Amino acid sequence: MRTTVFTIANQKGGVGKTTTAVNLAAALAARKIPTLLVDLDPQANATSAIGVEKQQGKSLYDPLLGEGSATDMIVETPVKNLWLIPSEEDMAAAEIELAQTENYLARLRGVLQSIKDTGRFRVIILDCPPALGMLSMNGLGAADHLLIALQCEYMALEGLGQILRNVNRIKEAGINDALDLGGIVMTMYDVRTNLSRQVVDEVRKHLPEKVFDTVIPRTVRLSEAPSFGKTIFDYDPLSPGASAYKNLAKELITRFELIEPKETPTS
User: pLDDT at position 255, please?
Assistant: 97
**Has residue 266 been placed in a domain?**
no
How confident is the model over 5-28, as a mean pLDDT?
93
* Domain tally, the chain: 1
CA distance 190 to 237: 20
C-alpha span between 29 and 249 (Å, rounded): 10
Residues 14-43 have a mean pLDDT of 96
In the prediction, which pLDDT does 237 show? Answer: 98
DSSP state of 178: T
Q: Is residue 267 part of a domain?
A: no
Residue 213 clears pLDDT 60, i.e. is over it: yes
Question: What's the average model confidence in pLDDT over 139-161?
Answer: 89
Does residue 227 sit within a domain? yes
Which residue range(s) make up the domain with 21? 4-255
In a domain, 245, yes or no: yes
Does the residue 261 lie in any domain?
no
Among 243, 248, 241, CA closest to 226? 241
Residue 114 belongs to a domain: yes
pLDDT, residue 157, reads 76
Let me know if residue 117 belongs to a domain: yes
pLDDT of 153 strictly over 90: no
Q: Of 117 and 155, which is predicted with more confidence?
A: 117
> Order of strands, edge to edge, in the sheet holding 145-151?
75-76, 82-85, 35-39, 123-127, 4-9, 145-151, 180-189, 211-217
Residue 266 has pLDDT above 60, yes or no: no
SS3 of residue 137 by DSSP: helix
Q: Is residue 264 part of a domain?
A: no
Find the CATH number of the domain harbouring 164.
3.40.50.300
Mean pLDDT rounded to a whole number for the chain: 93
